[in-house]
Amino acid sequence: MNNVTEYLPHGFCIAWNPQLLAMHVISDLLIAIAYFSIPIGIVYVAKRRPDAVLQPVYYLFAAFILACGVTHVMGILTLWVPLYYTQGITKMVTALVSIATAIYLLPKLKHLMALPDLGKLTQINSSLAQEIESRRQSEATMRQSQELALQAQKTQAAFLANMSHEIRTPMNGVLGTIDLLLDTELKPEQHQLAAASKRSAASLLSLLNDILDISKVESGQMTLRNNPLELAEVFTDVEAALTFEAQSKNIELHCPAEAVPDATYLGDSVRLRQILLNLVGNAIKFTDVGHVKVTCREVSRTGQQAVLEFTVKDTGVGIAPEHQKNLFKRFTQVDNSSTRRAQGSGLGLAIVKELVELMGGQVHMQSKPNQGTEVVFTLKLAVQLPIDSAAVEPAAGPIFAAPAVAKFRGIILVVEDAAMNQMVVCKVLERLGLESKIANNGQEALDLLAKESFDLVLMDGQMPVMDGYEATKLIRSGTVPGINKNIPVVALTAHAMVGEDQKCLDAGMNDYLSKPLERDKLINVLGKYLKQV
């Protein structure tokens, strides 16, 4: 088939002219090299862009151009060797690839024509670039807004913490002096006036606590305890706290501790007590004739989780339907006029709703004008399993229970910078049979502890010169000569924000008391560290 004797080489007639032969060889070689390199680039792009439009065209063009390159190589070879059949087959393959490319491409031309031109692509690209830049600016603005919001939240928290401290400090003096006054022999009228002053001060403190609670909820710092919760004790406490208010209005308060479910649940008794005090206090406030009743029942139990339903029902003035939907919103009251019958901040029911929902429940109200009001809320609480008394080990030490009148023996160092609070705390300690000495700041406390012997330290937190946290750390370090590093240190601070108790414990204090000072809590704490007379 490739017999040299039958066919003359293609370059036989031009072999006598070296320049002409070189021109044909070099031109075909360069064209072939170009044809071979182009498909490499096309295949590389096609593999990198598997999602490209009309991708098969890439491979067809690559095959077509490669075949064209082979035909030029054959053109060089046939100058010396008559491989005409091979050259014909190569051209046939090139023709088939060309036809296949045309057959595939021609129907796709309308799609190619539909593609935007370079100007439109440039415009689209410019629009996309502008959109990307706009989104970047929006994200930057959003980040800045978030930073500002976070800074505002921190500022608000710092403001509330500072205001809480500044208000609680004088409130400790007010409530403390009134308590001391009520312990003295007073005429009936004087006792009545002092008791009224104490109730007013307690209302002011309650308002402060409500504001702090709302702040805790907003910042996500509201935490719930999960301790054994005795419903009977909670009902007894609520009734004891509000009986006087109900009796002063000649209405009956029914809060029967004996009617609650006979089971021990796990929950936050402090927050449950707060919910009931808010609801029952509201009911008494808006009831002039009749009664206020509080009930509790277990409506369901699944495994070790129970759903409790609490009801506070009164025979008061009632609430119109159009006002009921807004009552659980903050700073909302039925009557906002200057002549309204009951004063308040409008925070009590909002806090009730927040606490109930935090405890996995819901609250709703039914009321009609002049027919009373019924508030029902549910709580999801775990049920504590009964404990085998025989398996319980005795406690390591005696548990102190505060008697009605407690007397102790010992000398207390009161570290406090406010003169009014110094007087109140020392007077209370004196009534409990204790001696006391005053240090105006942490440094004075260290100096006195190094020179004299004390049985316990009541340590304020925020003070000039040296605060209570630093002073306690130095006491516990054992680096100050003459100081017993194991002396009991109890925080007595006006800081009552979330985490303050842990901050005091982390500094090395043994216990935490907040201002205004409650005598019963003080007695319970003192009972842990001092001998009772």
Phi, psi of 250 (to 5 degrees): 60, 40
The pTM assigned to this predicted structure is 0.50
In this prediction, the residues of the chain whose per-residue pLDDT falls under 70 are 1-7, 10-16, 51-54, 109-117, 153, 156-166, 200, 203, 206-208, 210-223, 324, 326, 328-348, 386-405, 496-499
Whether residue 143 is contained in a domain is answered as: no
CATH (domain of 285): 3.30.565.10
The pLDDT score that the predictor gives to residue 31 is 85
Q: Is 463 left (phi over 0), alpha (psi -120 to 50) or beta?
A: beta
The residue with tokens 């509080």 is: 294
The pLDDT score that the predictor gives to residue 411 is 94
Whether residue 38 is contained in a domain is answered as: yes
Number of domains observed in the structure of the chain: 3
The pLDDT score that the predictor gives to residue 395 is 41
Q: Are strands 363-367 and 408-409 parallel, antiparallel or unpaired?
A: unpaired
The pLDDT score that the predictor gives to residue 456 is 95
Tell which of 114, 149, 176 closes a domain: 114
**Dihedral angle computed from the Cα positions of residues 421, 424, 429 and 431, in that order, rounded to the nearest 10 degrees:** 180
CATH (domain of 513): 3.40.50.2300
Are residue 445 and residue 486 in the same domain, yes or no? yes
Cβ within 8 Å of residue 111, ≥6 positions away: 53, 54
The pLDDT score that the predictor gives to residue 391 is 43
Whether residue 123 is contained in a domain is answered as: no
The pLDDT score that the predictor gives to residue 396 is 41
Are residue 236 and residue 312 in the same domain, yes or no? yes
Whether residue 276 is contained in a domain is answered as: yes
Whether residue 287 is contained in a domain is answered as: yes
* pLDDT single digits (tens) 202-227: 767 766 676 666 666 666 666 677 88
Preceding amide of 398 cis, omega within 30: no
Are residue 314 and residue 377 in the same domain, yes or no? yes
Are residue 382 and residue 352 in the same domain, yes or no? yes
Are residue 528 and residue 475 in the same domain, yes or no? yes
Residues facing residue 532 across a β-bridge: 408
Domain of residue 459: give its range: 408-532
Are residue 382 and residue 433 in the same domain, yes or no? no
Are residue 376 and residue 238 in the same domain, yes or no? yes
Whether residue 303 is contained in a domain is answered as: yes
- One-letter amino acid for residue 154 of the chain: K
Whether residue 315 is contained in a domain is answered as: yes
Are residue 312 and residue 350 in the same domain, yes or no? yes
Are residue 455 and residue 374 in the same domain, yes or no? no
Tell me if 9 sits within 8 A of 79, measured CB to CB: yes
The pLDDT score that the predictor gives to residue 308 is 93
Phi, psi of 61 (to 5 degrees): -65, -40
Are residue 313 and residue 250 in the same domain, yes or no? yes
The residue with tokens 């005598």 is: 519
Q: Which two tokens stand for residue 44?
A: 């590389």
The one-character DSSP state at 249 is T
Tell which of 59, 84, 114 closes a domain: 114
Q: Which two tokens stand for residue 245?
A: 């208010």
Whether residue 211 is contained in a domain is answered as: no
Q: What is the 3-state secondary structure (H, E, C) of 67-110?
A: HHHHHHHHHHHCCCCCCHHHHHHHHHHHHHHHHHHHHHHHHHHH
Are residue 423 and residue 373 in the same domain, yes or no? no
Are residue 417 and residue 322 in the same domain, yes or no? no
* pLDDT single digits (tens) 281-328: 889 988 999 999 999 999 999 888 899 999 999 999 888 877 767 676
